[in-house]
Amino acid sequence: MDHTGSYYIGHRVNGRLEGKGTYTLPTGTKYIGEMKDGMFHGKGTLHFPSGSKYEGTWDHGIAIEGQYTFADGLEYKEDKWHYCDGYDRRFYTEICNGLKPAGISQLTNLDPPRPIPDGCYDCGDGFYNPETRVVVDYKHRFLRNADDDEHERIIRTCRKGWDEIVGFIPKA
């Protein structure tokens, strides 16, 4: 393990990461593939803790082409991307498995949705606590501190861990 919390298992040349190997970042993201002079170089795959992956070709640490696949198997397409557009708002699992009967809503692509801790939001890659402004992954490990823009986006758009009455409330 190095001073960043990352570690590497694989080939080395003159002490440098070179050849095939596995480089694991402190976040749990793993790169499995070719290295050159300590950088991703050649063919390799980034495996994210969420289960998604990016298979690509790298040139001295920069991805030059590749394919991103979400954890549920949905492949991202840069051109002609029709998933979750203005015309079809189904989750990918609904496209694959069909819609639920009328009156039973699917709230997330994961069904049933994961429970959200009290006072927190589900922000897509983890839970956000607006009091501490910290995002943790779904295993409650620190991911990042939210800046003002991310805080506002999460508060405005993400699922809450509590019920909230909205709309007209008649007087008793």
Beta strand ranges found along the chain (DSSP E): 7-13, 16-24, 30-36, 39-47, 53-59, 62-69, 121-122, 127-129, 134-136, 142-145, 159-160
Question: Looking at residue 118, what is its pLDDT?
Answer: 92
What b-and-e string marks burial along 18-35, b requiring 16 or more CB atoms within 10 Å of the CB?
A: beebebbeebebbbbbbb
Q: Give the pLDDT of the chain (172 residues) as one tens digit per residue.
A: 667 889 999 999 999 999 999 999 988 899 999 999 999 999 999 999 888 999 999 999 999 999 999 888 888 888 877 777 777 778 888 888 888 888 888 777 778 888 999 999 999 889 999 999 999 988 898 889 999 999 999 999 999 998 877 777 777 7
* Inter-residue contact 60 to 37 (CB < 8 Å): yes
